[in-house]
Structure 1
Amino acid sequence: MKISRKMKRAATGCLAAALLCTGIINNVSAFNLGSVLGGVAKVGGISWLVTQYGDKINSAINSVMMKEGAGTNYATKVVPIVSLGNKQYIGAAQVIGPSKQVEKVKAVGQIQIAWNSSLFRINGLIPMDSVNPTSFSRVQGVGVSANIDVKI
């Protein structure tokens, strides 16, 4: 019996949400979301996951930060990370700032720069008003407070 791709996505999304909502994943150490999602969270799946579960992921991050004494009164939101080099969704990020500015953020653009013969690798993270990496404006006054890596 074949399980449709849509059904797999829904099942893994529900599982991830259930884990986040029930507090099973509640410590500061990174968890392996890739193992939970298996092969489902490919490049396009990251955008889908953020759209469906971004609020729950955001709440989980805020709860952990508060528990560790790093809470905030600023607005936060989880958005996809778009690689400005290859135009793919490569993860997610939590942005933080004044609520009017955070509302404008649709994605975080990532620029990777190798410097000094690749001795240093720099990841520039830019809060953007669009998910289109070729046509966006930087949203001023907003920073990135968490980086959510998804193994793809």
Structure 2
Amino acid sequence: MQGKKWIAAALVCGFLLGQGTAPAQAGILGTVVKGGAVSLLVSQFADQLNSAINTLTAKYPISSDYATKVVPIITVGDGSYAGAAQVSGPKEQVDKCQAALQLEASFFKSFRAKALIPVDKVAISGINRVQGVGVSAQIDVKI
């Protein structure tokens, strides 16, 4: 319940602050508020999201014995949280993973690629790939 109060407060502050700003500034502020709300949701519900994904995969013969954890996704060029990802691998390596870095690119006018890379920091610089860990699920948050 505490997390819901913080989310509501962030959204109300974003709405009130956005009322007196220029359109371009309001857009940036809205992105920051949404990013903060998603970050809060991810940190507040990471264990429940991880459990839900593990329950989903256990229904099919595709579950894994690896350790899993839900971390925020960071998009390069923006630096804001864009959602969450479940990472999996050996427990020691999964414990090192703090985020998934998302890289996007378009190729040949018809193809789009998104690479999700487990990393050791919630940042867009000074990060290191966490070897032996993969992204096993992507979680979108409807705002």
> Per the shorter chain, which TM-score range?
0.7 to 0.9
* Percent of aligned pairs with the same amino acid: 50
In the alignment, which residue of structure 2 is the partner of 1:61? 53
In the alignment, which residue of structure 2 is the partner of 1:84? 76
In the alignment, which residue of structure 2 is the partner of 1:143? 134
Which residue of 108, 115, 123 corresponds with 2:114?
123
1:55-106 C-alpha deviation (Å, 9 max, x unpaired): 1110111011001222110000000000012111001000000000000000
CA–CA separation in structure 2 for the residues paired with 1:56 and 1:151 = 17
CA–CA separation in structure 1 for the residues paired with 2:137 and 2:68 = 10
1:19-39 C-alpha deviation (Å, 9 max, x unpaired): xxxxxxxxxxxxxxxxxxxxx
Larger gyration radius, structure 1 or structure 2 = 2
In the alignment, which residue of structure 2 is the partner of 1:114? 106
3-state SS of 2:125 partner:
coil
In the alignment, which residue of structure 2 is the partner of 1:13? none
Amino acid at match of 1:7: K
CA–CA separation in structure 1 for the residues paired with 2:38 and 2:119 = 17
Closer, same or farther: CA 6–58 of 1 in aligned 2, 3 Å: closer
CA–CA separation in structure 2 for the residues paired with 1:8 and 1:98 = 34
Closer, same or farther: CA 151–6 of 1 in aligned 2, 3 Å: closer
Which residue of 5, 10, 14 corresponds with 1:7?
5
Normalized per residue, the structure richer in helix is 2
Query: Under a length normalisation based on structure 2, what TM-score does the superposition of the two structures give?
Result: 0.76
Unmatched 5+ stretches in structure 1: 11-40
Amino acid at match of 1:132: A
In the alignment, which residue of structure 1 is the partner of 2:30? none
Amino acid at match of 1:60: A
3-state SS of 1:110 partner:
strand
Unmatched 5+ stretches in structure 2: 9-32
CA–CA separation in structure 2 for the residues paired with 1:147 and 1:130 = 18
In the alignment, which residue of structure 1 is the partner of 2:25? none
